[in-house]
Structure 1
Amino acid sequence: MQLTASTDIGLRAVMRLAAADQAGDRVTIKAIAHQVGASERTVSTVVARLVEIGVIATTRGRGGGLVLTDTARSTTLGTLIRHLEQRPEVVDCAGPPSCPMIAGCRLRHVLAQAAEAFYRELDRFTVADLVAGSAGQLLPLRARTSHRAPADAEEP
């Protein structure tokens, strides 16, 4: 099963924010966009969805940024991905165009069971699990170094 680019960005944003909580850092949409290689507009759309589902809170103005909500760390990855994907089924047999084999086909049911097994496995892990140990320490460090010019870059 392949996740959408929006879900990928959403998961990376949540991981970065979870690590920032541990480090006491402030994270902005611009910083996340830079880190994940996406436009600020795309990240803004994903962040808006994360705010809508109650995972992220935003603060505007000087000193503002993004933070995880109190319940975000205990949110399971399965729950988070279900909300971000917003796809009820792996395949859309009803169309358009609708599948001519829909009446006697078992594929839809088998794929639905496989998708549920995928989410059930992801439900074993929380957002906090993603940044436990050294992973949580490396994410903020990587973010800081990715904003700097390489040491061998020429000065203007």
Structure 2
Amino acid sequence: MQLSASTDIGMRAVMRLAAAEQAGDRVTIKAIAHQVAASERTVSTVVARLVEIGVIATNRGRGGGLVLTEAARAMRLGTLIRLLEQRDEIVDCAGPPACPMIAGCRLRHLLAQAAQAFYRDLDRYTVADLVSGSANQLLPLRVRPPRAPESAEEPK
């Protein structure tokens, strides 16, 4: 099962926010966009969805940024991904155009069972599990400004 690009960005944003929370860092849309190699516009759209489903809260103004909500910390990953994906079925047999084999096809049912198993397995973990222990060390905690280009001239 392949997740949509927006779900991928959303999960990365959630992990980044969870890691930042542990480190006491402030995270902005700009910082997430830089770290996940996406445009600020794309990240803004994903963050808006995360706010809508109660995963992220925003703080405006100086010193503001994004933070995980209390509900997000305990949220099951399968639940979060279901909310981000916003689709009921892996394949759309009803169309358009409708599949001519829909009446006798078993694939749709088997794929639905596989998707439920996928989500059930993910539901064993919470957002907090994504950044516990050594996993937290693997997440980049700070956005480093690009280094200034070195001069082509050698010092004399």
Structure with more of its chain in helix, by fraction: 1
Unmatched 5+ residue regions in structure 1?
none
Query: Shift of the alpha carbon at 1:150?
Result: 4.7
Contact 2:20 2:141 in 1 (8 A): no
Please say if 1:30 is aligned against 2:30. Answer: yes
Which residue number in structure 1 is paired with residue 118 of structure 2? 118
Question: Is the contact made by 1:35 and 1:143 (CA closer than 8 Å) also made in structure 2?
Answer: no
What's the CA shift for 1:126?
Answer: 0.4
| Mapping 1:56-75, distance limit 5 Å | 56-75=56-75
Do the aligned partners of 2:20 and 2:27 also contact (CA within 8 Å) in 1? yes
SS of 2:57's equivalent in the other structure is strand
CA shift, 1:136, in A, is 1.7
Q: Where does residue 100 of structure 2 map in the other structure?
A: 100
The residue type equivalent to 1:112 in the other structure is A
- Measured in 1, the distance between the counterparts of 2:40 and 2:151 equals 27
Give me the whole-angstrom Cα distance separating, in 2, the residues matched to 1:70 and 1:113: 31
Map of 1:148 onto structure 2: 145
Structure with greater Cα Rg = 2
Displaced runs of 4+ in structure 1, greater than 3 A? none
The whole-number CA distance in structure 2 between the counterparts of 1:51 and 1:94 is 31
Aligned length, in residue pairs: 152
Residues 1:17 and 2:17 are matched in the alignment: yes
The one-letter code matched in structure 2 to 1:44 is S
1:98 offset after TM fit, Å? Answer: 0.3
1:56-95: CA deviations, max 9, x gaps?
A: 0001111110000011111011000000000110000000
Partner amino acid, structure 2, of 1:134: S
Unaligned stretches of 5+ residues in structure 2: none
SS in 2 for 1:58: strand
What is the alpha-carbon distance in structure 2 between the residues aligned to residue 155 and residue 68 of structure 1?
A: 42
TM-score, normalisation: structure 1: 0.92
User: Aligned partners of 2:151, 2:121: CA distance in 1, in Å?
Assistant: 49
Query: 1: CA distance between counterparts of 2:64 and 2:45?
Result: 18
- Report the TM-score, using the length of structure 2 for normalisation: 0.92
Give the superposition deviation at 1:147: 2.0
